[in-house]
Amino acid sequence: MQISARGEYAVRAVLSLATAYPSLLSTQAIASEQDMPRKFLEAVLADLRRAGIVRAQRGAEGGYTLARPPREITIGTVLRAVDGPLAGVRGLRPEETSYEGAAENLPQLWVAVRAAVRQVVDEVSLAELASGRLPGHIRRLIARPDAWEPR
């Protein structure tokens, strides 16, 4: 799985909002805290607002806040809001792929890949990630000897 810059910025921005929840944060405050370009962040926040993940308040005391408590928003929800489906194969959903001959079983593998990604990003909330209290199955994945090795 490849996380886009847009996806990474979105997760970082909502983590800042989760830490401040329910208070408002300005775009400038988030950009400064996360060291990201403000204009790009504004576009990401617009996507998150359209998806109902954040709320915007105008005015001198305005800014952004999460639309729901951090424990109710998963990382997968944020990633989908800015990048679309989590796993695609040449623009198709895994279950939409079809192959002949030796590759006929490949769609099953693509579906399994998507399911594995979902087991991580759809089962970790902003609150858990912001606090560092990750679910047990995530901690076990991180603790595997090969987890931190590049391949």
Q: Would residue 113 count as lying in a domain?
A: yes
CATH code, domain with 79:
1.10.10.10
Q: Would residue 149 count as lying in a domain?
A: no
Grade residue 27 by pLDDT with cuts at 50, 70 and 90: very high
Query: Domain range for residue 53?
Result: 5-143
Tokens 């989760």 -> residue: 18
Q: Would residue 148 count as lying in a domain?
A: no
Q: Which residues, 6 or more positions from 108, have their beta carbon under 8 angstroms from its beta carbon?
A: none
d(CA 73, CA 127): 8
Query: Half-sphere exposure of residue 3, counting CA atoms within 13 Å on the CB side?
Result: 12
pTM (whole model) above 0.85:
yes
Q: What angle do CA 21, 25, 26 make, to 5 degrees?
A: 165
List pLDDT tens digits, range 34-74.
999 999 999 999 999 999 999 999 988 889 999 999 999 99
Tokens 């998806």 -> residue: 51
d(CA 92, CA 132): 34
Q: Would residue 137 count as lying in a domain?
A: yes
- Tally of domains in the chain: 1
Q: Would residue 150 count as lying in a domain?
A: no
List pLDDT tens digits, range 71-119.
999 999 999 999 998 888 888 898 999 999 999 999 999 999 999 999 9
